[in-house]
Amino acid sequence: MNTTTTPHRQDDRIRIFDTTLRDGEQSPGCSMSPAQKLVMARALDELGVDIIETGFPASSQSDREAMAMIARELRRPTLAVLSRCLQADIETSLTALQGAANPRLHLFLSTSPLHREHKLRMSREQVLESVHRHVSMARQQLDDVEFSAEDATRTEEDFLADVVRVAIAAGATTINLPDTVGFTTPEEIRGMFARLIARVEGADKVIFSTHCHNDLGLAVANSLAAIEGGARQVECSINGIGERAGNCALEEVAMTLRVRNAFYNMGTAINTPRIVSTSQLLQRLVGMPVQRNKAIVGANAFAHESGIHQHGMLRHRGTYEIMRPQDVGWPDTQMVLGRHSGRAAVEARLRALGYWLDEEELKLVFERFKALCEQQRVVEDDDLQSMMQDGVQADGYRLSSMTISDAGQRASATVELSAPDGRRVSESALGDGPVDALFSALSAATGVQMTLESYQVHSVGMGTDARGEANLSVDVDGDEYEGSGTSPDIIEASALAWLDVANRLLRQRRGSELARATATA
């Protein structure tokens, strides 16, 4: 029998019941095939979800097939299916659950006066009788039975207490009190859970669950308030997808409990660094992207453009971020350079690209940066590189000429470079091919050693406007760097790509030496 004898008030473990595959899939345009559901279920398993609701078997053959596929493969999480309080539904659901390692039957019946009168056309007594009969029927076949009082937050509290009492007496192991239409407020739902748990016999022997919809934008807030009232299971979905305005967003409630653990003193088993990849998988499967400013998983969740914010972030991450992007699966914070960015952010990005500028050079670059911002919303790294290559800081090696010979068994290359101090540097080298010889000659001329990891060339444009573009990736002391170059001649483009990396490395070295000298002065 899957019950707990620990009183809720002493249980600091919040169970995550994910309904992405059932309630989430009911979002218009978000239906998934059984194969897609299996892919998503695997991701939810890796995410650490406690209970996965796979579907509503009585509604379609597709849901039954999905449940069978998932049950054959996933053995750790509890697998639940939804069922109405109807004998035929229960029998279909029990058949679908065969083979599951940890099966749960999730029964529901409406309890609010509006639903009783217009949807069910049942009296209070008939509702209580149906709850007792069908929960008992399910409990005779299965140890784990959840009962949901649909539209609980609009149900008379005395009657709701009777429903919960009957469901527990009939053998329900989890009691769900859903805010089906997203109507309640945090204060109301907190009080409802607290009062029912305090007054209903046997409440300390079952898990109370909350399932909140987002019609007023309060699904997460209401779910957290329900936890404060005694709920120890949260029913939610990835990206908050679901009927109408959706459900409580799993990623938001999980990270709130983590970031504000000192306040809630509650935790989940969610493997939070997998949140972003799981969110992005769902977006690809159902074709429903999240808005850029979506909490946790939106593209702007850890992006900063304001100069004030960027300056604070450069001083201390905690000034404007309450969690690390890596904690949820983003690679890092994004410093977006745009019209609101300040000099500190531009300088920091240039240093990351290997450019260390004095005050006059930085002033010139920033003026050009601001001018560019009037033409485009975001200034990328390539834009900054172009500014530097256009003469803002001509302190790198420049290719003056090169000669390539591929006659005989080995190729040879001779390069002449203009050094940062104005000298002319010429070197020759042999190689297994013209590019190998070219890179060896450039290395000899600059003194920069690096290991080529990848090298690609392709054509850009057509006809007389066609240009060759070279892209390469190199390894230097375990760190990876990338470079690019364009020219009508593909070999020259390759030389420019190699010098792109070499000049960046040399600038970084000079910058590090300058920083050390400043620190010891």
Separation of CA 292 from chain center: 12
- Cross-strand partners of 471: 456, 484
- Please provide residue 99's backbone torsions phi and psi, each rounded to the nearest 5 degrees: 95, -15
| Nearest-10 crossing angle of helices 186-199, 157-170 | 50
- Please provide residue 338's backbone torsions phi and psi, each rounded to the nearest 5 degrees: -155, -165
Which residue carries 């420049």 as its tokens?
Answer: 398
Which residue carries 């540097």 as its tokens?
Answer: 425
Does 132 carry a binding-site annotation?
no
Return the half-sphere exposure (C-beta side, CA atoms, 13 A cut-off) of residue 356. Answer: 13
Calculated CA dihedral for residues 336, 341, 347, 353, nearest 10 degrees: 20
Does 134 carry a binding-site annotation?
no
CB 264 within 8 A of CB 320: no
Closest to 214 in 3D by CA, of 401, 24, 493: 24
Burial 42-66 (b: 16+ CB within 10 A, else e): ebbbebbbbbbbbbbbbbeebbbbb
Residue 400 identity (one-letter amino acid): S
CB 53 within 8 A of CB 19: yes
- Scanning 418-466, the segments in alpha helix (DSSP H) are 434-446
Question: Could you tell me the maximum CA-CA distance found in the chain, to the nearest angstrom?
Answer: 99
CB 111 within 8 A of CB 83: no
Interatomic CA distance for residues 387 and 345, integer angstroms? 16
- Scanning 100-178, the segments in alpha helix (DSSP H) are 113-115, 124-141, 157-170
Does 489 carry a binding-site annotation?
no
SS3 state at 7: coil
Does 311 carry a binding-site annotation?
no
Interatomic CA distance for residues 445 and 130, integer angstroms? 87
Token pair recorded at residue 513: 């030496």
Return the half-sphere exposure (C-beta side, CA atoms, 13 A cut-off) of residue 181. Answer: 10
The vertex-233 CA angle with 301 and 149, nearest 5°, equals 115
Sheet of strand 424-431, all strands in order from the earlier edge strand to the far edge: 398-405, 411-418, 424-431
Which residues sit in the known binding site for Mn(2+)? 23, 211, 213, 247
Which residues sit in the known binding site? 23, 211, 213, 247
